Amino acid sequence: MSLSQHVTAGELDGYLIGRLDPVEARRVETHCRSCESCARQRDLRRAARALTGQTSAGSTASACLSGTTLSRFASGTLEADERALVEGHLHDCQACRDELAVLRCDEQHGQA
Ligand SMILES: [Zn+2]
Ligand SMILES: [Zn+2]
């Protein structure tokens, strides 16, 4: 797999506080494994958060799926393992299932 674009500071922060959706969080993890500079940024930001007491408060549940992820899922452009993450979340989350249903409905109307 080629190195995709670097993760942004916002993505790193979202990742550290568990606010990224599972697909985005996975991208950050995968990228940091192969990119030393982003991994270093992540560690620095994590250390900074620990110093200021801003560690994520207990909950390790991932955030809900973002609009981007849901629309990529609906249009079938996610990779297989990303789809699996989304399907796992949808299984447990009524809110995201509802959102997906709306998206799919919009798409059908849009492509008529
Ligand atoms: Zn990078
Ligand atoms: Zn959800």
Helix (H, G, I), strand (E, B) or coil at 49: helix
pTM of the entire predicted model: 0.68
CA of 86 to the centre of ligand 1 (A): 24
* Region of 53 on the Ramachandran plot (φ > 0 left; ψ -120 to 50 alpha; else beta): left
Query: Do 87 and 104 have their domain in common?
Result: yes
Query: Do 25 and 48 have their domain in common?
Result: yes
Query: Do 72 and 111 have their domain in common?
Result: yes
d(CA 27, CA 48): 22
Amino acid sitting at position 79: E
Residue 51 confidence (pLDDT)? 78
Query: Do 21 and 48 have their domain in common?
Result: yes
Query: Do 32 and 76 have their domain in common?
Result: no
Pick the ligand that lies closest to the CA of residue 11: 1
pLDDT tens-place values along the chain, 112 residues long? 445 689 999 999 999 999 999 999 999 999 999 999 999 999 999 998 887 765 555 444 568 999 999 999 999 999 999 999 999 999 999 999 999 999 988 877 766 5
Query: Do 43 and 92 have their domain in common?
Result: no
- For ligand 1, a single-atom ion, the residues with CB < 5 A are 6, 35, 38
Residue 48 confidence (pLDDT)? 86
Count of domains in the chain?
2
Query: Do 97 and 108 have their domain in common?
Result: yes
Query: Do 88 and 101 have their domain in common?
Result: yes
Going from the C-alpha of 59 to that of each of 49, 63, 97, the distances in angstroms are 16, 10, 22
Q: Which of 39, 62, 85 is the last residue of a domain?
A: 62
The domain in which residue 106 lies consists of 64-112
**107 in Cβ contact with 75 (< 8 Å):** yes
Query: Do 112 and 92 have their domain in common?
Result: yes
d(CA 62, CA 5): 23
d(CA 77, CA 100): 14
